[in-house]
Amino acid sequence: MHDPIPTVTLPSGIDIPALGLGTWQMGEVKARANDEIDSLRLGLDLGMTLIDTAEMYGEGGAERIVGKALEDRRDEVFLVSKVYPWNASRTGTIAACEASLKRLGTDRLDLYLLHWRGEHPLADTVAAFEELKAAGKIGAWGVSNFDTADMEELLTVPQGENCAVNQVLYNLSRRGIEYDLLPWCQSRGIPVMAYSPIEQGRLVHHPELIRIAKAYQATPAQVALAFILERESVVAIPKSSNLRRVRENRDAVDLDISDEDWAALDAAFPPPARKTALDML
């Protein structure tokens, strides 16, 4: 029996799974499309019912893959997409959202994010998000790759306090947000979504992660995911098109790491002692 997937509560009170499905690099190679669709559908079968995508991924290709995976399952899923910063003007955001909805084959997004900061004023992007929300095109909106100062500025914008999520790079080897951004978000009830929680596979070769994984008959990737799942109000969105790895990701929920081994991971991947610039991939 699996442990249930933990949940994270959005400011609206809606609970979302703390382990979802990423789609970065999907929709780029036609020959992989069926494997990508199958991996997403398996993830849904296993309870990972949050899918994160973006108009950037495969220049819309990932959204088309997600649309095919959700053809008969849209109501099972908490669906997230993102707008390019150069599209994030008042009218551009609305047009970009409509294009994403068309590629996804749906009439609504559950969450729509500004992918990173660009030239358009935050006030214009937020106004567009609120317009989309009022029209029922999105359920909530948030941001991605925003550091603490960006978040503070956002909250000064009209209706900026309605930000539901900040999606950032976060994993064992990228712990900078723990110094200020993560506690800032946690104290204000704004969940963090962690992209690249396994550092695009690079973490799995770390000797200490391998040692600890062996002790639990687990994989290094599972231990890396368990680290994220241990954090309060943080959602992990690993991407995989491999069915075995999708199952392994789900099994990471079952890991119960000892305090001693968490301390060993802290020694191998030290938490930040000072403010650092926000990492991005």
> What residues act catalytically?
57
Measured between alpha carbons, how far is residue 38 from residues 46, 53, 193, 269 in Å? Answer: 12, 16, 23, 34
- HEC assignment per residue over the chain: CCCCCCEEECCCCCEEECECEECCCCCCCHHHHHHHHHHHHHHHHCCCCEEECCCCHHHHHHHHHHHHHCCCCHHHCEEEEEECHHHCCHHHHHHHHHHHHHHHCCCCECEEEECCCCCCCHHHHHHHHHHHHHCCCECCEEEECCCHHHHHHHCCCCCHHHCCCEEEECECCECHHHCCHHHHHHHCCCCEEEECCCHHHHHHHCHHHHHHHHHCCCCHHHHHHHHHHCCCCEEECCCCCCHHHHHHHHHHHHCCCCHHHHHHHHHHCCCCCCCCCCCCC
What tokens does 48 get?
A: 């990972």
Neighbours of 167 (CB within 10 A): 26
